[in-house]
Structure 1
């Protein structure tokens, strides 16, 4: 009786059951009862939040029901015949070509990798300007990118050659980069020492408000000495002529 609800329990009176005949009355009431949806939880416990399922980070609204659309046409099939493939035209000036050598080969031969020079020495780089060192540094970076691309291709294809030559070439490029850092570090220390000396020099102004270098005037004693040297010059010339005459 508990599961039939209040309406069904009210109709099951004793007189009605006696008139209808016991079990037949119960069957008739069950058949005439309106159908109800079955829920194991209370109706207010059903989640009715519109933002349920939304992202807590992006705060995107709940999209609701998403209809899946599809085309009635057949899906394209991949072309397996190499002769029917379309040629992909790329620009010869594309930036990704910088990860390949001049021949644009993914895996060069050991002879091609072995054709390289030596690393730059620190003594040679000391005479280079800042712009030259900057260009040389990025040339080394580009060379190492090419070697890294070739190494990845070797790991994929596994040809069985070229690792030793590529390692030697990469080591020489790294030696050049190390020499560039060494030369720049020396210049930095020289600049710090020159700045320390300039701060104690009265002829140099580091404030930036006027000329950086203002030489002092010469002393009068130095000027008289120079004048006297000029006056003595003709006498020295005459003495040299007399000495030559005596020799003759």
Structure 2
């Protein structure tokens, strides 16, 4: 069950519980008015049943709606509005959690950071709307090459990070190469039936035994810039 669905069901259930207050509350009022409540129930059972069913449906629907909006708010707080990927804040929190888990359970953890090559040229030549299309297309292509346990986030304008739990350096390299190859084949349509393509440069680093989040990120970032400075459209692995 997804977190959003769970929140909707919880709020709908709470609404159903609150709905019991309508018939019970009216019975309590009648009691204080010195009516015989059992006779009241016997004589007006249909009314009370109608009240119970009606308020239950109304409050449950309202609770579902509230839960839906809460789920949307939670998602907006951790997602990038353009690409739909996780944002920097979520990534930083998740990175800290995965590094701690990796050390505690002695399991491998790897990180990929990649950048779109010559992205500024796209904005300069075609405008920001086309630049946004490029960001979305490349984000979708990269995400489609990842497992559900792997986390991809937009951490800068055209910079992205991929967190790979339970992933050795060798597997991280394979994943990076697969993303690089897939992105290079993406064609983004623009005006007059033309298309543009873009490549990415990637840096890969795997967590050392006594390393922290900042060090892991810095090594992957350094590898990324080595890839960009040595020709772009390639994967460089941190050797430190």
Which TM-score band applies after superposition, normalised by the shorter structure?
under 0.3
TM-score (structure 1 length as normaliser) = 0.22
TM-score, normalised to structure 2's length?
Answer: 0.23
Q: Which has the higher helix share?
A: 2
Which one has a larger percent strand, Structure 1 or Structure 2?
A: 2
Flag the structure with more relative contact order, 1 or 2, with Cα contacts below 8 A and sequence separation at least 6: 2
